């Protein structure tokens, strides 16, 4: 530059010497100018090289492509015959041979394939030294170098390469690569050339650095997107203008839209049910004003019109200046959980209703005797206005027990088997009354042990009382049965002795009266004989009475032999037999149809004997005795009657008719023991039937009896 | 009194009037010669088994018929019957229950024990005479006992 300035100082008044000197100077200046020109040209070339390099490297897709371009351009522009690159190994211990290279001449295949086997640790060989020093190095002729300086000296000799320049490519303070350039001829160090190549290398470093940054950023972006996509929640950014700036894959899935159908759209107008739009918008606005709303739930509207409930957590995004620009929300689809909660709530309400309205008492008590919960029924039964009153006033459930030992026993049983069924206890009511409860209790445990006891309490006070009454009645009944049994035994013993002991004296009276009449007749006058006859008649009479009484008593004990009975045939038979005993009487027997019956034929025969003989007896005063027998079926029984036109009876005494020894006529008018109808009644009752009579004095009588059709009613308890 | 080894009718009856009436009935039929009367069940057993008061009697001489009342002092008639009918030496003695009892169970029990006949004493004297006469004639004259 100084030459240029001096060039302008030429003077018109110059001496020859001066001119000569000036000429020399001028020549020198011209030379300088030429030099300057050449320099300028070189700078221009450098600039051009750099520009084309920048262009090319910037467009390079990766490091290798950039290196390849750099090697080629440097060689072409600055006269190098061969360029290669060395790259640090992934573990950073050595430099390795790079597949990228450039050559303008000759066959360097052998050199390359042999070089491939070399690696250079830091400080070793030309690449290693450049790597360590991070400085360019020039060797005028590598083929003359010792092996310690240039390990590949042998193969480089063969290749004919001599001058060599190595430069590091530095990015972020690390050597990314070492570039080596070779010439076929030897050459001293050219500083300018070193500068140019170094400048290229430096630029290459910064390009690589930038490329690397871009790549990392892209990777980060990809990662972030991946995280967003694999997230199981909706992640969404809404800008201040209410439009969706970002939504992840999960969000799209839930809303059933494509990402581009959501991003850029107004969130509130498009993806919320109308009824909640304003409400949610208000929440958003509050959020944007930094009101602390961390969590809220709202329904969203999917493409198909379905509503899903989403629970949102929110945070704010701010720009560099701290201004809020958007909300970042993560949203979880809790529709199913909400439904489950709803179901749970309904179920809870249902069970709560059962609990509240149950007739049975339901309770939970703690191990230390507190009532943890009780339903209204339990409180009510114990006389408390509310469960709360019960829980407050009964501080220890033990106090409810009439016998507190029962509580201990209950707990012992529960602990032993985990539950207790139908445990009967007496509890005191609020007013001191005692109620019986039937407890069904089980234990509730968690990992720490017994939590509480819970169960039901059924008020069995009434049942108990009824049970006790039944027990009492049963005891009474048993006593009665025993008494009845004893009475029956007594009756049997009685009739047995009647049978034996009462008859013997009668026989003696009759026998000896007879002997008196026969053997001592000469000592008796007529009156004496008449009196003896009276004695004998009464003896017979008493014998008959005893006979009938025994019959009656036996009827109650004798087992019945049931069979089908032809009632017509039976009645006719009996009538014929009886008619034969009264030959002089005029009898008219009207036999109508009688339904067949089931019964003990001997006993039923006795009924007809008694009824028909009564009919014959009480019609004695009639010129023609009319006797009628009939029967029919009615519901579950057959009704039979025997009717006569005899002396009849006064209906007001009809209830006495069937009693033992009950007679409505004098012995003088109509003989009889007064047992006949009692026997009929006993027989019919044993068959499960009924007897009754209708009559009117002097207008005859009708005696009815029924026999059930179904067998099961026969022979009931007598 | 009859030789106890030749007794044909053994009457076991505690009621003296019944005894008298029975004997009257037998007398009317000339059957009183070989009648022996015992007044209770224990005595009846001693007689048939030839023990106690009757130890001198030969057990092999058996009466043609025993008329046995049921209601007897000490040992009742059914018990006497049971012992006699369950012993080889006495089971062949024909036993006729002559009693006032019409109880079905007495009748059943007697036949179960092996009674030969069961007669209910009529209250009517004439019927009673008739009954005693008929049964005695039957057992003493018509029936052929084993030897």
pLDDT tens per residue across span A217-235: 788 778 777 777 777 889 8
Who among A508, A539, A540 is closest to B17 (CB)? Answer: A508
Backbone angles phi, psi at A703, to 5 degrees: -110, 120
Q: CA of A547 to nearest chain B CA: how many angstroms apart?
A: 9
User: Closest residue of B to A546, CA-based?
Assistant: B123
Res. B1: pLDDT tops 60: no
Contact yes or no for B126 and A554 at CB 8 A? no
Q: Which residue out of A488, A500, A535, A552 would a mutagenesis test of the B interface target, given it has the greatest number of B Cβ atoms within 10 Å? A: A500
Confidence of residue A5 (pLDDT cuts 50, 70, 90): very low
Q: How many CB pairs under 8 A join A and B?
A: 59
* Cβ contacts of A387 within 8 Å, gap of 6 or more: A373, A374, A375, A376, A378, A379
Query: Which tokens hold the place of A296?
Result: 């809220």
Which are the contacts of A625, defined by CB distance < 8 A and separation ≥ 6? A585, A586, A587, A588, A615, A616, A619, A644, A645, A646
- B23 at the A interface (CB within 8 A)? no
Topology alike, domains A231-335 and A358-459: yes
Residue A501, CA atoms < 13 Å, CB-side half-sphere:
7
C-alpha A159/C-alpha A628 separation (Å) is 162
List the single residue in B18, B24, B99 with the smallest CB-CB distance to A515: B24
Which architecture, in CATH terms, is B4-140? Answer: 3-Layer(aba) Sandwich (3.40)
Comparing C-alpha atoms, which of A576, A560, A587 is closest to residue A646? A587
**Under an 8 A CB cutoff, do A506 and B123 touch?**
yes
DSSP state of A398: G
Q: Tell me whether strands A137-139 and B117-120 are parallel, antiparallel or unpaired.
A: unpaired
Residues whose CB is less than 8 angstroms from the CB of residue A311 and which lie 6 or more positions away in sequence, other chains included: A295, A296, A297, A331, A332, A334
Section A58-75 average pLDDT: 80
Instruction: Report the percentage of chain A scoring pLDDT > 70.
Output: 94
Between A96 and A451, the more confident residue is: A96
Residue A4 has pLDDT above 60, yes or no: no
Residue A715: left if φ>0, alpha if ψ -120 to 50, beta else—which one?
Answer: left
Q: How far apart are CA A482 and CA A9, in angstroms?
A: 168
The confidence score (pLDDT) of residue A711 equals: 52
Interface of A with B (CB under 8 A): 496, 499-501, 503-508, 510-515, 539-540, 543, 550, 554, 558
User: A138: which 2 tokens?
Assistant: 């020039």
Measured in angstroms, the CA of A537 and the nearest CA of chain B are apart by 10
Angle at A135 between CA A36 and CA A211, to 5 degrees: 95
List of long-range contacts for A80-83, beta carbons under 8 Å, 24+ apart: A80/A104, A80/A165, A80/A181, A80/A182, A80/A183, A81/A105, A81/A106, A81/A161, A81/A182, A81/A183, A81/A184, A82/A108, A82/A159, A82/A161, A82/A181, A82/A182, A82/A183, A83/A179, A83/A180, A83/A181, A83/A182
Question: For the segment A264-296, what is each residue's pLDDT rounded down to a tens digit?
Answer: 999 999 999 999 999 999 988 888 888 887 788
* Closest-CA residue of chain A to B18: A508
Dist CA A674 CA A685 (whole Å): 18
Q: Are B114 and B49 a contacting pair, CB within 8 Å? A: no
B105 reaches A (C-beta below 8 A): no
pLDDT of residue A273: 92
Nearest-angstrom CA–CA distance, B124 and B60? 37
- What's the helix, strand, coil split of chain B in %, to 5? 45, 15, 40
pLDDT of residue B98: 92
B76 touches chain A (CB under 8 A): no
Exposure b/e, A532-548, CB count within 10 A at least 16 = b: beebbeebeebbebbbb
Task: Give the pairing of strands A587-591 and A625-634.
Answer: parallel
Beta bridge partners of A320: none
Residue A445 DSSP one-character state: E
Burial class from Cβ neighbours inside 10 Å (0-12, 13-18, 19+) for residue A267 reads: buried
Can you tell me the distance from the alpha carbon of A644 to that of A589, in angstroms, rounded to the nearest whole number?
9
List CB contacts of A480: < 8 A, sequence separation 6 or more.
none
Topology of domain A358-459 in CATH is: Beta-Lactamase (3.30.450)
Shortest distance between the Cα of B58 and any Cα of chain A, in A, equals 34
pLDDT tens-digit series, residues A469-526: 898 999 999 999 888 888 877 877 777 777 677 888 888 888 898 888 888 888 888 8
pLDDT score recorded for residue B68: 95
- In this structure, the dihedral spanned by the alpha carbons of residues B87, B92, B98 and B103, taken in order and rounded to 10 degrees, is 60
Partners of residue B71 in chain A, C-beta under 8 Å: 500-501
CA A514 to chain B, closest CA, distance in angstroms equals 7
Look at residue A256 in the predicted model and tell me its pLDDT: 92
Inter-chain residue contact B100 with A507, CB threshold 8 Å: yes
B15, B100, B125 member nearest A510 (Cβ): B125
At residue A571, does pLDDT exceed 90? yes
Q: What is the CATH number of domain A231-335?
A: 3.30.450.20
B100 at the A interface (CB within 8 A)?
yes
The CATH class given to the A560-713 domain equals: alpha beta
A508 vs B99: CB contact, 8 Å cut-off? no
Rounded mean pLDDT of chain A? 85
Q: What is the pLDDT of residues A634-676, one digit of tens each?
A: 888 999 999 999 988 888 877 778 877 677 776 667 777 778 8
The alpha-carbon gap from A458 to the nearest alpha carbon of chain B, in Å, equals 56
Q: Torsion angle of alpha carbons A540, A541, A546, A549, nearest 10°?
A: 150
The contacts of residue A615 (CB under 8 Å, 6+ apart) are A625, A627, A642, A643, A644, A646
The pLDDT value given to residue A84: 92
Q: Would you call A511 and B122 a contact, using CB atoms and an 8 Å cutoff? A: no
User: What SS3 state is found at A190?
Assistant: coil
Contacts of A498 in chain B (CB under 8 A): none
Using a CB-CB cut-off of 8 Å, the residues of chain B touching A561 are none
- Residue A503 and residue A496: Cα distance in Å, rounded? 11
pLDDT higher at A668 or A77: A77
Distance of alpha carbon A672 from alpha carbon B15, whole angstroms:
30
Q: Looking up tokens 């001489």, which residue turns up? A: B61
Q: Facing residues of A703 across strands? A: A642, A693
A505 contacts in chain B (CB < 8 Å) = 17
How far is residue A611 from each of residues A4, A133, A407, A599, A605, measured CA to CA in Å? 179, 154, 72, 17, 10
Q: Give, in degrees to the nearest 5, the angle at Cα A271 between A270 and A272.
A: 105
Q: Is the pLDDT of residue B58 over 90?
A: no
CB-closest option in A499, A511, A515 to B100: A499
* pLDDT score at A714: 47
User: Domains of chain A: which residue ranges?
Assistant: 1-59, 60-216, 231-335, 358-459, 465-537, 560-713
For residue A661, what pLDDT is reported? 67
The token duo for A161 is 């390469």
CB contact under 8 A, B102 and A550: yes
- Give me the residues of B, 121-140, that contact A with CB < 8 A: 121-126, 128
| A716 — pLDDT class (breaks 50, 70, 90) | very low
Q: Is the pLDDT of residue A3 over 60?
A: no
Give the model confidence (pLDDT) of A320-352 as tens digits.
Answer: 788 888 888 888 888 888 888 888 899 888 888
Q: How confident is the model at residue A718 (pLDDT cuts 50, 70, 90)?
A: very low
Cross-chain Cβ contact A512/B102 below 8 Å: no
Q: What is the mean pLDDT of chain B?
A: 88
CA distance to partner chain B, nearest, from residue A718 (Å): 19
Do the Cβ atoms of A504 and B128 come within 8 Å?
A: no
Taking the CB of residue A475, how many other CB atoms lie within 10 A of it?
10
CATH code for the structural domain at A60-216 = 3.30.450.40
A622/chain B closest Cα distance in angstroms? 33
pLDDT tens column, A374-421: 999 999 999 999 999 999 998 998 889 999 999 889 888 888 888 899
Instruction: Please give the backbone phi and psi of residue A588, each rounded to the nearest 5 degrees, phi first.
Output: -120, 120
Encode burial over A85-119: b for 16+ CB neighbours within 10 A, e otherwise: bbbbeeeeebbbbbebbbbeeeebeebbebbeebb
The whole-angstrom separation of Cα A519 and Cα A517 is: 6
Hey, are the CB atoms on B100 and A512 less than 8 Å from each other?
Answer: no
Q: Which residues of B touch A545 (CB under 8 A)?
A: none
Contact B101 A554 (CB under 8 A): no
pLDDT for A717 equals 42
User: How would residue A1 be classed by pLDDT, with cut points 50, 70 and 90?
Assistant: very low
A-chain residues near B18 (CB < 8 A): 504, 507-508
Structure tokens at B117: 């006949």
The angle at the Cα of B119, spanning A605 to A683, to the nearest 5 degrees, equals 20
**Stronger pLDDT, A665 or A590, i.e. the higher one:** A590
Residue of A nearest to B98 (CA): A500
% of chain A beyond a pLDDT of 90:
31
- Average pLDDT, stretch A135-160? 90
Query: Alpha-carbon distance A655 to A682, whole Å?
Result: 15
């Amino acid at each position: 530059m100084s030459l240029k300035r001096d060039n302008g100082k030429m003077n018109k008044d110059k001496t020859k010497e001066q001119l000569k000197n000036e000429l020399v100077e001028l020549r020198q200046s011209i030379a300088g100018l030429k030099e300057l020109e050449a320099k300028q040209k070189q700078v221009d070339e450098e600039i051009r090289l750099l520009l084309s390099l920048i262009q090319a490297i910037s467009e390079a897709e990766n490091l290798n492509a950039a290196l390849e371009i750099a090697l080629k351009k440097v060689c072409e522009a600055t006269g190098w015959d061969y360029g290669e690159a060395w790259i640090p190994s992934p573990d950073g211990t050595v430099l390795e041979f790079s597949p990228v290279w450039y050559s303008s001449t000759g066959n360097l295949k052998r050199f390359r394939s042999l070089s491939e086997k070399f690696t250079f640790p830091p400080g070793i060989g030309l690449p290693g030294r450049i790597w360590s020093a991070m400085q360019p190095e020039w060797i005028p002729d590598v083929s003359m170098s010792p092996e310690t300086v240039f390990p590949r000296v042998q193969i480089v000799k063969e290749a004919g390469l001599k001058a060599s320049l190595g430069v590091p490519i530095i990015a972020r303070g690390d050597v990314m690569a070492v570039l080596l350039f070779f010439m076929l001829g030897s050459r001293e160090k050219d500083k300018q050339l070193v500068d140019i190549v170094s400048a290229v290398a430096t630029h290459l470093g910064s390009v690589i650095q930038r490329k690397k940054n871009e790549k990392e950023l892209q990777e980060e972006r990809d990662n972030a997107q991946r995280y967003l996509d694999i997230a199981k929640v909706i992640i969404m950014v809404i800008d201040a203008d209410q439009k969706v700036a970002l939504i992840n894959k999960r969000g799209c899935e839930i809303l059933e839209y494509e990402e581009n159908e959501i991003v850029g759209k107004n969130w509130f107008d498009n993806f919320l049910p109308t009824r909640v739009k304003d409400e949610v918008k208000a929440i958003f606005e509050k959020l944007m004003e930094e009101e602390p709303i961390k969590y809220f739930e709202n329904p969203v509207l999917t493409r198909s019109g379905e509503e899903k409930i989403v629970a949102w957590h929110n945070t704010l995004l701010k720009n560099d200046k701290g201004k809020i620009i958007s909300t970042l929300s993560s949203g979880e689809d809790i529709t199913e959980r909400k439904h489950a909660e709803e179901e749970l709530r309904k179920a809870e309400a249902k069970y709560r209703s059962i609990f509240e309205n149950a007739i049975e008492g339901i309770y939970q008590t703690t191990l230390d005797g507190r009532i943890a919960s009780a339903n209204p029924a339990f409180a009510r039964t114990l006389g408390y206005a509310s469960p709360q009153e019960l829980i407050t006033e009964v501080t220890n459930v033990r106090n409810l027990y009439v016998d507190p030992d029962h509580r201990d026993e209950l707990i012992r049983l529960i602990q032993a088997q985990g539950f207790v069924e139908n445990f009967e206890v007496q509890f005191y009511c609020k007013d001191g009354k005692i109620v019986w409860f039937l407890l069904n209790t089980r234990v509730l445990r968690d990992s720490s042990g017994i939590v509480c006891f819970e169960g039901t309490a059924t008020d069995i006070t009434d049942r108990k009382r009824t049970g006790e009454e039944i027990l009492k009645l049963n005891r009474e009944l048993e006593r009665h049965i025993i008494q009845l049994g004893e009475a029956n035994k007594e009756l049997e013993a009685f009739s047995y002795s009647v049978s034996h002991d009462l008859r013997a004296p009668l026989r003696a009276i009759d026998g000896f009266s007879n002997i008196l009449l026969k053997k001592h007749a000469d000592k008796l006058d007529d009156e004496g004989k008449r009196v003896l006859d009276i004695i004998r008649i009464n003896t017979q009479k008493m014998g008959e009475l005893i006979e009938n009484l025994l019959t009656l008593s036996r009827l109650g004990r004798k087992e019945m032999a049931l069979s089908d009975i032809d009632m017509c045939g039976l009645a006719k038979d009996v009538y014929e037999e009886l008619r034969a005993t009264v030959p002089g009487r005029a009898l008219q027997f009207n036999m109508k149809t009688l339904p067949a019956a089931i019964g003990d034929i001997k006993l039923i025969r006795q009924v007809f004997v008694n009824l028909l003989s009564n009919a014959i007896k009480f019609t004695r005063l009639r010129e023609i005795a009319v006797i009628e027998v009939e029967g029919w079926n009615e519901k579950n029984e057959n009704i039979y009657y025997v009717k006569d036109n005899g002396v009849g009876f006064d209906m007001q005494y009809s209830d006495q008719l069937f009693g033992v020894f009950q007679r409505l006529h004098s012995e003088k008018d109509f003989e009889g023991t007064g047992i006949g109808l009692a026997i009929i009644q006993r027989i019919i009752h044993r068959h499960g039937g009924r007897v009754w009579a209708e009559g009117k004095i002097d207008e005859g009588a009708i005696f009815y009896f029924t026999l059930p059709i179904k067998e099961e009613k026969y022979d009931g308890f007598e | 009194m009859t030789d106890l080894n030749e007794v044909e009718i053994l009457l076991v009856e505690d009621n003296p009037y019944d005894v008298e009436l029975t004997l009257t009935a037998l007398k009317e039929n000339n059957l009183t010669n070989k009648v022996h009367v015992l007044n209770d069940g224990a005595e009846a057993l001693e007689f048939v088994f030839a023990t106690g008061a009757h130890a001198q009697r030969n057990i092999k001489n058996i009466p043609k018929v025993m008329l046995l009342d049921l209601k007897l002092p000490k040992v009742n008639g059914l018990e006497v019957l049971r012992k006699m009918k369950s012993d080889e030496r006495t089971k062949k003695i024909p036993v006729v229950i002559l009693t006032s009892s019409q109880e079905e169970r007495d009748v059943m029990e007697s036949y179960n024990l092996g009674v030969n006949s069961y007669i209910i004493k009529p209250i009517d004297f004439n019927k009673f005479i008739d009954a005693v006469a008929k049964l005695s004639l039957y057992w003493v004259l018509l029936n052929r006992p084993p030897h």
